Each structure stands twice: as structure tokens, then as C-alpha cells.
Amino acid sequence: EIPYELIVVDLTKGEHKKPDYKEKQPFGQIPYIDDNGFILYESRAIARYLIKNYPEKGTQGLIPSDPKAEALFEQAASIEVSNFNAFAAAVAVEKVFKPRRGLQADEAKVTENIESLKAKLDAYEVILGKQDYLAGNDVTLADLQHLPYGSLLFAAGYGDVITSRENVA
């Protein structure tokens, strides 16, 4: 386990938009880390940094060091960003986050993004029919980066887009 101090930021009070917060995260978003004075924001960058800087904490292999394996990892990370995250995030916004704020989901956006995601996950099904994970037969950070919005697909009532595909599930 990497030592950390969790600092709760109250989004409902706009704490993430205050000047002192934006000094560290200029976009006023979550998360950022302060690792002994080294400030870093964007969750994917933070994850990569922690993996590379704390290998003794059990992060070895999550970013491969062999050049070919690393290239496959980078490919898989790009797949997650381009072919999963945008669509799953859009569904989560409409079906999870908007209702929490008392807003109505735009069902046309949900349908459009679910249909796009289904097509993308069909390609995942082909890839995962040949290997255990997106970058080969070992789990990498690219696989783990699917978890936040993947779990929100279930919360949104669309977990079947994952579970209906044998190799993706």
C-alpha cells in the first residue's frame, strides 16, 4: 500500500473551483496529488506515476518494461480512452450523475452511447477471445482503467453490455 492522506473536496460547495485548489489543479477537477511537493493531476498520469515510483508496493508489471509488451500496453491504454471511456462516461453522466443532481437523463444520448459502446465491445470480444487481457495475458493498468466507468455502467443499469460478452465479462 502506498502511504497517502485523503483530503475530501466538497464538490457541492465548489471547493474544487476555489483559487487555492486551482493553484494545484488549474482545471478545477478531481483528482490531483501532492507527492512531497510534486503536484500532478489527471488520473491516468497519477496512476502511471505511482506505478513507476512505488514498484516495491506491488505495482510491478502494471506497466510492462519490455519494449514490445510496453507497446501493447500503450495500445491497450489507447483502446480504453478511445473506445470505452468516452462512451461509458457519457452514459454515467446521463444515468448516474444527472439524477443525483435532480436532473433528467437525455435518453437519446444514452441510447447513442450504448449503441456505440456495444460496437466497441464487440471488438473487445474478438481481442479477448485470443488473449486474457487487452495487452496480452497479464493484467495491466490499461485493464484496470476500465473499472471506474465499467462499474458505473452497472449502476446505470447497463451492465449487460459487458456481461453479455463472454470474453469481456
Encode pLDDT of 1-34 as tens digits.
888 999 999 998 999 999 999 999 999 999 999 9
133: phi then psi, degrees, rounded to nearest 5:
-135, 170
Cell numbers 460478452 label which residue? 165
Is 4 within the bounds of a domain?
A: no
Domain shared by 46 and 71, yes or no? no
Domain shared by 46 and 107, yes or no? no
Tell me the whole-structure pTM to 2 decimals: 0.90
Query: What local confidence, expressed as pLDDT, does residue 148 receive?
Result: 97
Domain shared by 25 and 75, yes or no? no
Encode pLDDT of 83-128 as tens digits.
999 999 999 999 999 999 999 999 999 999 999 999 999 999 999 9
Region of 63 please: left (phi>0), alpha (psi -120 to 50) or beta. Answer: beta
Domain shared by 72 and 92, yes or no? yes
Contact 36, 45 (CB under 8 A): no
Is 30 within the bounds of a domain?
A: yes
Encode pLDDT of 130-161 as tens digits.
999 999 999 999 999 999 999 999 999 999 99
Domain that includes residue 100, residue range: 67-163
Domain shared by 72 and 47, yes or no? no
Is 1 within the bounds of a domain?
A: no
| CATH at 24 | 3.40.30.10
Domain shared by 72 and 19, yes or no? no
What is the identity of the amino acid at 48? R
Rounded to 5 degrees, what angle do the CA atoms 115, 121, 127 make? Answer: 155
Is 118 within the bounds of a domain?
A: yes
Total tally of structural domains belonging to the chain: 2
Burial class of residue 108 in the structure, from the number of CB atoms within 10 Å of its CB (0-12 exposed, 13-18 middle, 19+ buried): exposed
Is 151 within the bounds of a domain?
A: yes
